[in-house]
Structure 1
Amino acid sequence: MESISIGAASEYDTLLNKKVIHQSCSSFLKAISRKKPISDSTESRLAKVLTAFDLTALGIGSTLGVGVYVLAGQVSKQHAGPAVILSFLIAAIASIFAGLCYAEFGARVPKAGSAYIYSYVTIGEFIAFLIGWNLILEYAIGSASVVKGLSTYLDKLFDNVMQNFFKEHMPMDVPWLSEYPDFFALGVTILFSCAIAFGAKESTFVNNIFTVLNLGVVLFVIIAGLFKVDASNWSIPKEQVPDGYGEGGFMPYGISGVIKGAAVCFYGFIGFDCIATAGEEAKNPRKSIPFAVIVSLAMIFLAYFGISTVLTMMIPYFEQDENAPLPHVFRIYGWTVAEYIVSIGAMFGLCASLMGAMFPLPRVVFAMSADGLLYQFMGRISDRFKTPFNGTLITGFLTGTLAAIFNLSQLVNMMSIGTLLAYSMVASCVLILRYESDDKNNKVTINGKGIQLNSSSGNYAAAKVLLRKMFIKNQTATSNHLSAKITTIAVASYGVWCLLFGLVVSKFEENFDQIYWLDYFLLCLSLVPIFTTLYIISRQPVSSAQLAFKVPLVPWLPGISILINVYLMLKLDSQTWVRFAVWILIGLVIYFTYGLRNSVQRRRSQQKFETTIITEKNTRSLSVPSIYVNSNSTTATNF
């Protein structure tokens, strides 16, 4: 309860009451769209100890997991043949588009939280919460699937000892759950959680060791395989190819097979975004984050490219083992030592991938908790270790529980939704901020009167001005509120056009033999609004903000990134979208029951509003009696 003096004049009292009512009615919309300042002066409580090498190793380790030992054989046999190298190239280009967007934002906003914090400073609190909630899902399921793979891999090396024991003594006959509780996976997850909780530098040091050893094994496979390569395996005649394995040659499944293979290979590059999540703990984030993102993606591509080249040249693509192609090919040549080295390398890769998947999860929780959107105790920083200690252990235990009791084979696609949605949001944020207004105070006007829409002449003048600003670029113009508004609306509509384009392209992929001229017409027609929207954005004046790193070819490169991500999301099955909707529903309950009222930005807005009221009171010269105004009932930011 705060005592403030308000003018006794009835007109002022009415004015104040009207303002309070109006502000209260619009407070909900303002609440979900309130933004976090880009330049947040709050001092970080995390230790800045990570170098560019640490961040690069973290990105490589989290991405180059067991996939490097599996994907090349799987994609070459099922989708692309020897052209799997082109599939990896396309996937790498698509990943680099997303990576460059992360690099710009990491240099612009070096805070823990990755896509969550980027959305918060660009779009608003509600969308940021949804993105952060999705990131938690992505990292939790990603970590659980990796540790489950590690447990399964070790168990196979020892003739399924754990599986047989737990199935016999502790079976779980429950649908959607695992056949037995995997206590080994739970224990390993808790062990890694403790390592991460005890310090960022210490945990990244362990990750560096795993990553270097993993890269060493990859290099060994490439060099050893070069002694047994045969270029004729890239040009096998059709008559020598078994039924069901395409037409032979370099591209046995055609271009469509290469594209399908690229969609699968794209998921082999997921994980580099953990670099941006660690931005608040980097010594020089504005330089090291862009460097680490680009270098890690380049090295990951070279590893995939080298492995797939050697593998498809050593034996024909249709003879590959889908689950363990590298041990299989070395077994064929009788290289027992190489087979064991590859198995050890897979262990290192899994450990590095697990560390990389678990490291960013508590950072996202910390960022959301520090902003008041998640429960405060989850984001507390340890005075001794300078890490989100509670959040690390809690998320580690929950991740281990998922790995121990759930059958994760049907949940892995949910991780893909969270990742692709985050990628799309980051690219959209890059576009919005690149064209943000340089004029933070004054609204743009036309002829000093604003855009008039009250008469036919006013409508014509407004339309004429808007069309000119949308399609004709003024080289000397500076970004303003109107150009920024045009960009924001264009970016929002661009997502809809990408969705429609993806639906049209899906028909080509599913029934290519039944495509008619009308389908080609619809395909071309769906491309028109995509190019038009990007062209409109490109005509707007760019913000003059100086950045340490900028995405090149804006808006085209981020636009292509959004298009690819939306298309890949459409390829996920309906059950995945149902589970995703359930997860979102849980998040909405948390936000509207806790986050909306406990938001730090809400408290700041409330203080600003109260200050405005007091300032208005002080400017009045009326002599009035003092009355009490309840700040909770009169402030516009009650939400």
Structure 2
Amino acid sequence: MKFDLLRKESIGRYLNTDKKFAKTLGAKDLLALGIGAVIGTGIFILPGTVAATTAGPGVTLSFLVAALVCGLCSMCYAELSSSIPVAGSAYSYGNLLFGEIVGWILGWALILEYMLSVAAVSSGWAAYFNALLNSVSISLPHALTNAYNPTQGTYFNLMAAISVLLIALMLSRGLKESMRVNNVAVVLKIIIIFVFVGVGLFFIKPANYKPFLPFGTNGIFHGATTVFFAFLGFDCVSASAAEVKNPKRNMPIGIIGTLIIAAVLYMAVSVVLTGMVHFDKLNIANPVAFALRQVNQGWLADLLSLGALVGMSTMMISMTYSSSRLVYSIGRDGLLPPQIGKINKKGLPGNALWLVTLIIVLMGGFFSLDELTHLVSIGTLLAFTFVSFGVLLLRRRKDLPEPSFKVPFYPVLPIISGLACIGMMCFLPLNTFIFAGIWFGIGLIIYLVYGYRHSKINSN
């Protein structure tokens, strides 16, 4: 057997394998899925922590920069997903356009992105839930309220683990039923965001915006690399392509529509939050509820804490769903054990779902939010970079379906998109690259020892 790390997958095999999925998702479902993923930790947690540590009130501009870069990437995703409607998102695109080793690296990056993002949100979910319990004089044992940190007397985040298990249990009952719950929760979440913005406008103090850029211009870009984590929704929409009705029409609507709605909501919340409370007080896990209590709106803070739980739950639904489809795709291709790539009688990748659930529970239970978000960002940016440049390869391929949506100003915008992602990676801290290097090193070992020999490409 010839050793070839750049061998490419067949679109025919992907489409034939993925046809076992039940096609139940329309444009509205994709928007709800995307908004459910995007409007989670990003809207209820990151504006506060990033303002306090990185960008100050300029966090609003950080969200704008991240949204502009994501806007370019979203158009690239829309073109690829409308041409290649298969499960696996950037992992599958990498296999088809660049070659298997690139696909594997992107898949390994996306595993980091999807699973860590759910784990990070679960820790935020637990913080809001515990605050809600405390407001009615109920408290869990201190040792089970946060990530492993013996010096602070905490060993496991119990509520983070329970939240992930409940989400997985719901998803295991069927996608159609899960999407009904998700769609209702997304509507509720948007209403709650409007309530916070509407009430918060009356408590803005212009003095809180000074200094607007306490960390300088670099703070905006450092903040953008962190809040980039918040824009994962449109990426997860592309992972659902195999289960979408009329993907050529619905995928671009779901991906681009998600980003536009999310960008507007993020910036509105950031402006109001940093106007209500001085940024140096916001480095906490539940800044939205904290801000309301600071202006004596405790009853609304409790209501919004409940809404935040719903909001973060939709993010966990979307990203756990995407994680299971990604891991299924890698198992489908033989790069991980074949049991992971099985579809059960309900038309769901059950084995993949429970595997990712176990991993997320351990991550969310033992690691803190700060330790997770930067690692998520580097995995995301790497995937976005290859998807952007992948448009250049897609346009040259005559064996792949014609995309229904095409990135305008080709090839300028795809190239700018890829370079912007690389530029944002340069603002990530050094230890993020060290941890990511370890992660990718482990991934390459798994691929070379197991994946390469068991790949389904060998049987093509």
Normalization by structure 1: what TM-score? Answer: 0.66
Change (3 A) 1:229 1:572: closer
Aligned to 2:9: 36
- The reply to whether residue 426 of structure 1 matches residue 387 of structure 2 is yes
Task: Report the CA distance between 1:207 and its aligned residue.
Answer: 1.7
Task: Report the CA distance between 1:117 and its aligned residue.
Answer: 0.6
Q: Which runs of 5+ in 2 are unaligned?
A: none
Q: 1:203 aligns with which of 138, 157, 178?
A: 178
Q: 1:68 aligns with which of 43, 49, 53?
A: 43
CA distance in 2, matches of 1:132, 1:178: 36
Q: CA RMSD in A?
A: 2.9
Change (3 A) 1:229 1:191: closer
Aligned with 1:180: secondary structure?
A: coil
- Paired residue type of 1:342: L
- Paired residue type of 2:160: A
Change (3 A) 1:188 1:339: closer
- Paired residue type of 1:134: A
Change (3 A) 1:63 1:107: same
- The reply to whether residue 576 of structure 1 matches residue 435 of structure 2 is no
| 2:160 and 2:361 in contact (8 A); partners too | yes
Change (3 A) 1:115 1:574: same
Aligned to 2:270: 308
Q: Deviations over 1:243-297 (max 9, x none)?
A: xxxxx4x556554443343333323223321100011011121111110111111
Larger CA Rg, structure 1 vs 2? 1
What percentage of residue pairs aligned between the two structures are identical?
33
CA distance in 1, matches of 2:52, 2:434: 31
Aligned with 2:450: secondary structure?
A: helix
| 1:80 and 1:261 in contact (8 A); partners too | yes
- Paired residue type of 1:205: R
The 5-angstrom pairing of residues 145-184 of structure 1 reads 145-159=120-134, 161-164=139-142, 166=144, 179-184=154-159
Aligned with 1:263: secondary structure?
A: helix
| 1:233 and 1:314 in contact (8 A); partners too | no
Task: Report the CA distance between 1:80 and its aligned residue.
Answer: 4.5
- The reply to whether residue 358 of structure 1 matches residue 214 of structure 2 is no
CA distance in 2, matches of 1:350, 1:295: 20
Q: Deviations over 1:168-224 (max 9, x none)?
A: xxx97889x994233443333222112112212122222222221111100111222
| 2:221 and 2:427 in contact (8 A); partners too | no
CA distance in 1, matches of 2:131, 2:274: 26
Q: Which one has more relative contact order, counting CA pairs under 8 Å at least 6 apart?
A: 2
CA distance in 2, matches of 1:138, 1:437: 29
The 5-angstrom pairing of residues 589-604 of structure 1 reads 589-604=445-460
- Paired residue type of 1:162: L
Q: 1:417 aligns with which of 364, 369, 378?
A: 378
Aligned with 1:594: secondary structure?
A: helix
CA distance in 2, matches of 1:188, 1:253: 36
Change (3 A) 1:328 1:422: same
Task: Report the CA distance between 1:392 and its aligned residue.
Answer: 0.7
- More deviation in 287-296 or 583-592? 583-592
Change (3 A) 1:280 1:165: same
CA distance in 2, matches of 1:327, 1:437: 51
Task: Report the CA distance between 1:63 and its aligned residue.
Answer: 1.4
- Paired residue type of 1:298: I
| 2:124 and 2:369 in contact (8 A); partners too | no
Aligned to 2:364: 403
Aligned with 2:343: secondary structure?
A: coil
| 2:33 and 2:233 in contact (8 A); partners too | no
Aligned with 2:334: secondary structure?
A: coil
- Paired residue type of 1:87: S
Which one has a larger percent helix, Structure 1 or Structure 2? 2
The 5-angstrom pairing of residues 394-473 of structure 1 reads 394-407=355-368, 409-434=370-395, 436=396
Q: Count residues in correspondence.
A: 454
CA distance in 1, matches of 2:78, 2:317: 21
The 5-angstrom pairing of residues 259-338 of structure 1 reads 259-314=221-276, 317-318=278-279, 321-323=282-284, 324-338=286-300
Q: Which runs of 5+ in 1 are unaligned?
A: 1-23, 242-247, 441-542, 605-639
